[in-house]
Amino acid sequence: MSTATYPDIFKELKDEVRAAGLLERIPVRGSIEMILTMLSMVLFYTIVVNWQAMELGAFSAFFLGIFLTIIFTRAVFISHDILHTQYFKNKTLSFKLSYPFSAFILSNSSSW
């Protein structure tokens, strides 16, 4: 039985990805995503607290659940990108910014 050998083209692939600009940090987009996610969570909790006063039905609860699912999913991706320093070059800043998304929203440890 012979074992096929594959060429090691990782360096070429990484150079191509870097040349396409896919490894550039994006602090503006990251900041906007973080702010919008936090504002969305505030909106969600405001609606939940005032649920009885607004007399929202089960149909509205379904859409609120979908909204919350989208927000939690975005928070997971934001936390992942922050911890891999894809938004900011400073690792200390990135680790501190990951706390609201990892610990408070997702109930997950940033060190995990």
H, E, C per residue of 79-91: HHHHHCCCCCCCH
pLDDT confidence of residue 15: 92
Number of other CB atoms surrounding residue 82 within 10 Å? 25
The residue ranges of every structural domain in the chain are: 25-105
pLDDT exceeds cutoff 70 at 112: no
The model carries a pTM of 0.71
Cα end-to-end distance, the chain, whole Å: 42
Please tell me the predicted confidence (pLDDT) of residue 16: 93
- State the number of CA atoms in the 13 A half-sphere of 22 facing the CB: 7
Mean pLDDT over each residue of the chain, to the nearest integer: 83
Alpha helix ranges (H) inside the chain: 10-19, 27-49, 51-54, 58-83, 91-99
pLDDT in tens, 13-68: 999 999 998 888 888 988 899 899 989 988 888 888 877 766 777 778 888 889 88
Tokens of 72: 């939690």
- What pLDDT does residue 111 have? 65
